[in-house]
Amino acid sequence: MFTGLIQTIGRVEAVKPEPAGTGARLTIAATNWSHRPNPGDSICISGCCLTLVGQARLVGEALSMDFDVIAESLAKTKLGDLEEGYAVNLEPSCTPNSLLGGHIVQGHVEGVGEVVGVSTDDGYAVTIKPPAALMPCITPKGSITIDGVSLTIAGVDVNAGTFWVALIPTTLSETTIGAAKVGTRVNLETDIMARTVVDYLKNYASGVS
């Protein structure tokens, strides 16, 4: 489990496809990151929960980490878009002693949305079009995870099938969202509590106990 508070931005060092299209080995480097994960630890990479393979390696000031990504994750998340040099948001899994500064994030990406608008007229706002199936779980003032970042939904346009978030300077400078532009693809995970309620009501309405 994660909180959606990004600790650092990493860079993709390598993406090595596995044989027969079974997935890929992803290598991420994080510079000046104090966290020292152990083999098997979970790291949230731009919203995707991945498991550290082997021991992380210190190369100068950079921490180099390997992760295995299955074919389904490559196909259904933005991980399939990653290339050498791409920036990714990083957060280690939380513990019972961690501050829950964002909201409960599972690291289970539900779909990939697209940035359809960036406005700086009154603050900094980004408008995103998510997969239609996610819209029932997206409500004004609710929480959503965008590329691993916990954000508050500023507004929803049901007719357009879009929502927007307002970004503070810290989010713009300390996460990859600051570089988002129209056409940028983003990993999305709706709030688990909203999702549970929506699923329950759907099942109740259909007579499924």
Contact 78, 147 (CB under 8 A): yes
Residue by residue, pLDDT tens for the chain (209 residues) are 999 999 999 999 999 998 877 899 999 999 989 999 999 999 999 999 999 999 999 988 899 999 999 999 999 999 999 999 999 999 999 988 887 888 999 999 999 999 999 999 889 999 999 999 999 999 999 999 999 999 999 999 999 999 999 999 999 999 999 999 999 999 999 999 999 999 889 888 777 65
Question: 31-54 as b/e, with b when 16 or more CB fall inside 10 Å?
Answer: eebeeebeeeebbbbbbbbbebee
Q: Which fold has domain 111-203?
A: Elongation Factor Tu (Ef-tu); domain 3 (2.40.30)
**Sign of the C-alpha dihedral computed for residues 114, 116, 120 and 125 taken in this order:** negative
Domains 8-92 and 111-203 share a fold: yes
Rounded to the nearest 5 degrees, what angle is found at the Cα of 92, between the Cα atoms of 60 and 185?
95
The residue ranges of every structural domain in the chain are 8-92, 111-203
What pLDDT is attached to residue 173?
95
Q: The whole model's pTM is what?
A: 0.93
CATH of the domain spanning 8-92 = 2.40.30.20
- Measured between alpha carbons, how far is 96 from 45 in angstroms, rounded to an integer? 21
Burial class (CB in 10 A: 0-12, 13-18, 19+), 195: middle
Where does 95-179 have alpha helices with state H? 169-174
Residues contacting residue 58 through CB under 8 Å, at least 6 positions apart: 64
